[in-house]
Amino acid sequence: MNINPIILSIPIFFILIGLELLVDKLQNRSNYRFNDAITNISCGIGEQVTGVFFKLTIVGLYGFLFEHYAFFNIPVNWTTGILLFIGVDFFYYWFHRYSHVINLFWGGHVVHHQSEEYNLSVALRQGWFQKFFSFIFYLPLALIGFDPIQFLTVSSLVTVYQFWIHTKSINKLGILEYVLNTPSHHRVHHGVNPKYIDKNHAGTFIIWDKMFGTFQEEEEEPTYGITHPINTWDPLSANLHHWKQMYRGLKQMRSAKDKLKYIFMPPGWRPDYIKESPAPVNQPTYKKYDTDVPYYVNYYVLFQYIITLAGATFFLIKAGKMDFIPKLIACSLIILSIVNYSNLFESKKHAISFEATRLFLVLITLAIYFQLNTLILLAVISSWVMISAFWLFKIKQVVIQ
């Protein structure tokens, strides 16, 4: 059985996030906000669970090209694995670079840049639609003759490498700065300071940026986020926001030529007859988006989130053996869960009723899947329901506006 290194790394990711939180606490820093971190992780959960429906199609195309059109038959060993790692990282650079300068591709990647903080949880914030564009850039590796399974493993390792560079806790790393992508280099990439925008696209090796003219040294402290903030904690809205903007923009275009240019030109491009988009973030005076809820709402979300995270991990492990309908139901419930946590953060009127409905649907699904034919399992599920109901009753008067 081939196990995705990203799935195996999930416990390590959360251990490192915990350590970073501890370091922040000891140093009296505030690099984390609970609502922001939860939204970051929710985007990552959504990317993984929606990915189970499309991975076979994407991998299938790579495999088809490999089987029928590969120029060489490259053996699978450590030497070719290293060569493939360099190749994957090279093509990742070009995907990443073009995802910043083509409006269509930006729609898949922008989610990763939306957080106005910079910490390890940001590494998990991934766009749900990015996979539909990124895989195209790696197809030359299939034509060269790199094995599909080896490609999947190596590309996952390139992704895993990029987790640790999303931190403020590590300063510059001496000689490593010349070759590797480091936290310092990647902080630049997430900055909206004019000198930092569209710089340092590397995955593992910063040499690509230095070779192709997109390198920028970290100088002043970056301002993080995107130039036009989305101002929501909702992971679904975060992933759909750019597409809604594109739809509205396309309706304003007067010709097919302008529509095509709008899709493939850099984000923010407009023809002369359309007014400019709203002014970008004013860095010196801009205030980060935030919402304030009672502490017991945050504790409720944390309690439910741990359960959701465990359920999502279980789903990702079992998804390969599940039929389509059960898989779709499980994915939908996970998405419903992470979306409604944002409703609680934002004190939306329907948050309580949606949460009660969500709990009921999850309970029914668990009852059908596990059949609740053991006293221990029945006791655990019953305890969860009672605790959740009590908590919802407590927060009802505060959350509903």
Let me know: does 343 contact 350? Beta carbons within 8 Å. yes
Q: Report whether pLDDT(327) > 50.
A: yes
DSSP 151: H
Q: What is the pLDDT of residue 28?
A: 84
**Secondary structure E strands in 256-390:** none
Q: What is the pLDDT of residue 335?
A: 96
Q: What is the pLDDT of residue 283?
A: 55
Positive or negative, the Cα torsion across 76, 77, 79, 83?
Answer: positive
Listed in sequence order, the residues at least 6 apart from 144 whose beta carbon sits closer than 8 Å to its beta carbon are 70, 71, 72, 74, 87
What is the arithmetic mean of pLDDT over 250-262? Answer: 95
How confident is the model over 167-216, as pLDDT tens digits? 999 999 999 999 999 999 999 999 999 999 999 999 999 999 999 999 99
Q: Report whether pLDDT(1) > 50.
A: no
Let me know: does 204 contact 161? Beta carbons within 8 Å. yes
Let me know: does 165 contact 204? Beta carbons within 8 Å. no
Q: What is the pTM of this model?
A: 0.91
Residues recorded for the chain: 401
What is the arithmetic mean of pLDDT over 348-369? Answer: 86
Listed in sequence order, the residues at least 6 apart from 74 whose beta carbon sits closer than 8 Å to its beta carbon are 80, 144, 145, 146, 147
What is the arithmetic mean of pLDDT over 241-270? Answer: 94
The amino acid present at 163, given as its one-letter code, is F
C-alpha atoms less than 13 angstroms from C-alpha of 155 in its C-beta half-sphere? 22
Q: Report whether pLDDT(331) > 90.
A: yes
CA distance 322 to 125: 26
Q: What is the pLDDT of residue 382?
A: 77
Q: What is the pLDDT of residue 373?
A: 61
How confident is the model over 26-44, as pLDDT tens digits? 888 889 999 999 999 999 9
Residue 5: pLDDT band by 50, 70, 90 thresholds? confident
Let me know: does 49 contact 337? Beta carbons within 8 Å. no
How confident is the model over 283-293, as pLDDT tens digits? 556 789 999 88
